[in-house]
A and B are shown apart, each in its own frame.
Chain A
């Protein structure tokens, strides 16, 4: 299987060719939004962190920002900073330039003399970059260039019964063709981690999967918190998911059945090909943010109760097996998998159909969230702002 994508010098192909307007911190976010609004082909990120942070939080923010810029769906980046944040625009630019040969420009609001002067420069840089990006021709790429993020959110009982198994089948089919997938949300392995660990390709990876869950619970306990207090969410419970264990046992099915070849830390880039796991929060927006920073070029998102979410850098394809949700929220849902619950199609049949849907998305078909221009992000935090 092949798709038409944008080849990048550093490796994997993009399925989009965005000019990314990237803030260094929250204070640059609004200027980025205005600048992106002036340039066709540009997308912006709204960032809620980047300043007044302990070192571990700064490290996470930097992984996300550099990961976004290096994502294969990005042609180049224009950075807007303030000037007094933890990592200013010129330092972030240098860091990104050390990782990629993409064009990167940066401006600081304090240096330039305020919002309007900064936006003017950023818009000129982004405009020229978008003009260049438009000249890049798509080329035929092998499906092995695809790194698909697998996410679920707003889950109900149909997720574990139908949509997650169908997406698991999709993952198996893609992995068999040489592509890679990432399943994240480690909090939602808890209660099913012993089942997930059976997919480990080595004993080390088996224990890594268990350890991730153990460490997650210990981390929360150190702050006097219990994951079982917030998981499942009130919506999950109303949708028939009674315990974290039940949610997890359904969640892990979306990763398929192929051997797990690598367990990544949050927002890390894979070093292997195949079925991969990433240690992230179960908070769907944060998990997608981390997988996009890790280099995913598309995300498939199963939901039971329905969600509008989208990401500026990658298309987010939303699928549901809840017929009522599909009917009620058709403006936000891309694929109806309810035939599995109705018993008229198997999850394997619908998983095979999803391969073609993903092929279309790779070739440029917009998802509903993409057409709306949605740009949800959430950066995970180790501890309080300081």
Chain B
């Protein structure tokens, strides 16, 4: 099966599609040595993300092993994740400072 999506970190809950994916098509990505497939439940544009698992409303979307922000609605596995259902949350800079 040809790869059409990339997983950036083993802890991610989304992959990035490297070709357009129509609803009903398979999204195929590599995770370590394994090749994994899931079915897209809606159209995913080129370069856009698809949820690998059900993400609750207010849940975090993880890519590169880091949080991209929080969801504004439930995003079931196989659905498109983008700016319409994901928003950035303010940082807590003071908590990131380290003792000098």
Contacts and interface: CB of A to CB of B under 8 A. Distances in A.
Interface of A: 156-158, 160-161, 190-195, 197, 203-204, 206-207, 210-211, 213-214, 217, 228, 232, 237-240, 242-246, 249-250, 304, 322, 324, 341, 343
Decide if the interface of chain A is mainly helix, strand, loop or mixed.
helix
A243 to B, nearest CB: 4
A303 to B, nearest CB: 13
Interface of B: 3, 6, 8, 16, 18, 45-49, 61, 63-64, 66-69, 81-83, 86-88, 90-91, 93-94, 96-100
Contacts of B100: 203-204, 207
Contacts of B68: 191, 242-243, 245-246, 249
A288 B87 CA distance: 29
A210 B93 CA distance: 6
A211 B96 CA distance: 10
Given A239-B47, A304-B47, A203 B99 contact: yes
Contacts of A204: 100
B61 to A, nearest CB: 8
- The 3 residue pairs across chains A and B that have the minimum distance between CB atoms: A240-B47, A157-B47, A214-B93
A160 B82 CA distance: 16
A156 B88 CA distance: 17
Given A193-B91, A203-B99, A245-B88, A156 B47 contact: yes
B98 A242 contact: no
Nearest to A200: B98
10 contacts: A161-B16, A191-B66, A195-B66, A197-B96, A211-B93, A214-B91, A240-B47, A242-B81, A242-B83, A249-B64
A324 B66 CA distance: 28
